[in-house]
Amino acid sequence: MRISDKPVAKRLEALGVEIRPGVSLEELTSLGIGGTTDQLLIRRYDTLPQVMRALKNEGIPHKFLGGGTNVLVADGELPWVVLHLPTSQPGMRVEGTAAYVDAAADLGGTVTFCAKRDLGGMEGLIGVPGTVGGALRMNAGAYGMQIGSYVREVKLYRAAERKIEILRHDQISFEYRHTSFAPDDMMLAVKLELPSKPFKEILQGIRICNEKRRSSQPLGQKSAGCIFKNPPGKSAGRMIDELGLKGLNVGDARISDRHANFFVNAGTASAKDMLTLIGDVRERVHKAFDVELEHEVVVWNV
Ligand code: EPU
């Protein structure tokens, strides 16, 4: 969707929005897959309610993108604009055992920032790529922990109320890779309450998690992490592996040789290739194990 040449573009720019016309989502996602659209950088998030009203009045559909590390975007000209909080110099500060972090901050950078101030708990998240906002929305987790356990407050643009609100942790439900946030809520900032731990001890935990991740996941390749959620008590990766599907491909969309729940873009895979591969694997797992795998990756179909 192109809005850069429409009258609304001027109004959005006056609200502090920078419009980047015709951006390829290949460049904005870790999978390196996706079509083109206008990208809107929200420079002042206090103007979000007005920005959203302007988009609604013009009938311009939108989606929020964080780090783009857990999303599979459709090919071609996309029918919605993409809203983005700029990632340069997001705020991060610590007061006692509380950390106040902007949603645009890098998740790994946040774990390290807190560790240096003797605040731990999030060691498992160190290698999870993406932003704090994305991690909140999905309740990112690894190695027995999840970010939701440490959330005290979330500042967000609440789409249903069309205003910026602060939610307390008891007003949000955090489940396995799922939260009660609405799809069109936009995460803005979070207050985390973290356990005090000496930096050295946290660093040791971080090293162990990094090592585990390096030895089991295809870190240097273009992927969106795990494609499927683990069904209760089961491992999607193990089931796909047991079926001998590592290396299976549709075009350049390929099941990693290292971890069978990571589907990588080995070159110039399209969303169609990746979705065909995902559909094929779901069918095979269903036939063999009578299990319906659910997407862990967020799919932006058109
Ligand atoms: N396994 C295989 N073959 C494979 C992959 C895994 O046999 O190809 C076996 C492993 O040997 C192990 C079991 O399956 O016994 C579980 O594997 P692993 O420890 O790698 O964890 P996982 O359940 O596949 C989950 C998360 C990861 C997270 C890791 C570490 C999901 C869907 N995945 O993976 O998160 O990094 O645990 O805690 O919950 C993600 O969210 O994108 C993600 C990658």
pLDDT at residue number 87: 73
Determine whether the shortest distance from the Cβ of 296 to ligand 1 is under 6 A: yes
C-alpha 5/C-alpha 19 separation (Å) is 10
Contact 135, 70 (CB under 8 A): no
- Ligand 1 atom closest to 127 (CA): 36
From the alpha carbon of 256, which atom of ligand 1 is closest? 8
pLDDT of residue 35: 98
* Alpha helices by DSSP H, the chain: 8-14, 48-57, 107-116, 132-138, 199-216, 236-242, 271-289
Q: What is the pLDDT of residue 4?
A: 87
Q: What integer pLDDT is reported at residue 132 of this predicted model?
A: 98
Q: Tokens 């390290």: give the residue.
A: 112
Q: How far is the CA of 213 from the centre of ligand 1 (A)?
A: 9
Fill in the amino acid letter for 76.
G
Compute the distance from residue 235 Cα to the ligand 1 centre, in Å: 7
CA of 10 to the centre of ligand 1 (A): 47
Check: CB of residue 175 under 8 Å from CB of residue 197. Answer: no
**Interior/surface letters 103-140, b for 16+ CB within 10 angstroms, e for the rest:** bbbbbbbbbebbbebbbbbbbbbbbbbbbbbbbbbbbb
Atom from ligand 1 closest to the CA of residue 70: 42
Ligand 1 and 35: CB distance under 6 A: no
* pLDDT, tens digit only, all 302 positions of the chain: 899 888 999 999 999 999 999 999 999 999 999 999 999 999 988 899 999 999 999 999 999 999 999 999 999 999 999 999 887 788 999 999 999 999 999 999 999 999 999 999 999 999 999 999 999 999 999 999 999 999 999 999 999 999 999 999 999 999 999 999 998 899 999 999 999 999 999 999 999 999 999 999 999 999 999 999 999 999 999 999 999 999 999 999 999 999 999 999 999 999 999 999 999 999 999 999 999 999 999 999 99
pTM of the model: 0.96
What residues are labeled active site? 177, 226
Token pair listed for 273: 């290739």
- Concatenated DSSP letters of 245-276: -TT-EETTEEE-SS-TTBEEE-SS--HHHHHH
Length of the chain: 302
